[in-house]
Amino acid sequence: MPEFRDRLDEAMRIRGMTAAELARTSKVNEGAISQYRAGKYKASQRSLDKLARALQVSIPWLMGADVPMEESDSQRSTSLPSNVQPMPTMQQIPRIGMIACGDPLLAQQNIEGYDNVPEYVKCDFTLVCRGDSMINARIFDGDIVCIREQPAVENGEIAAVLIDSEEATLKRVKIFDDHIVLEPENPMYKPLVFWGEEMNNVRILGKATHFISALK
């Protein structure tokens, strides 16, 4: 029985689509598509649905079943019961771990996995919050924070920041003419202050836009 990655490659070949074209059409991250084709990750149901729609194939066929490649008209016209509401369309967003010095932010070696995030959330990557330094902003240990990549933020906004090319951290950013202050949201921690040339050691990766709580 063919595997999902085999059928994905076959469908892309038949439709004449590159990974980049499929990513644009399906709204599934190109890096995730590469991982699927390599057999390293299993696609979520939402990703399967989006890939199948973009490639105009049936999900059972895409999963390797011995069925026709394309859905029949009756399958496409099936509607949900009136008491069932669809979940928001999800997208797979890369989760960034350690940032290698000099590498592009979304370089493959910086990506440690993917998070399912509602499609209406406009972000480029996620980080997992570690520790309790941002608890007064209701961001707790283990929460997944969605970041929109941008090199600058407004004073007082919470951002993902890289310090001395080390692991990214989440802090409230305040920028002055001669220094930068990275403020925690917990009085138990002191602000980090960078003066003069030390300001060059601080790199803003992007603005925090949403978070997914780890609390159940």
Distance of CA 128 to the CA centre of its chain: 11
User: CA angle, corner 118, sides to 63 and 162, nearest 5?
Assistant: 110
Rounded Cα distance between 117 and 91, Å, is: 5
193 DSSP β-pair partners: 181
Rounded Cα distance between 73 and 39, Å, is: 31
The active-site residue, picked from 27, 133, 190, 213, is 133
The pairing of beta strand 90-96 with beta strand 202-212: unpaired
| SS3 assignment, position 159 | strand
171 flagged as catalytic: yes
The active-site residue, picked from 171, 190, 213, 216, is 171
Q: Taking a C-beta distance cutoff of 8 angstroms, is the pair 28, 20 a contact?
A: no
Instruction: Match 């997208």 to its residue by tokens.
Output: 91
Q: Catalytic positions, please?
A: 133, 171
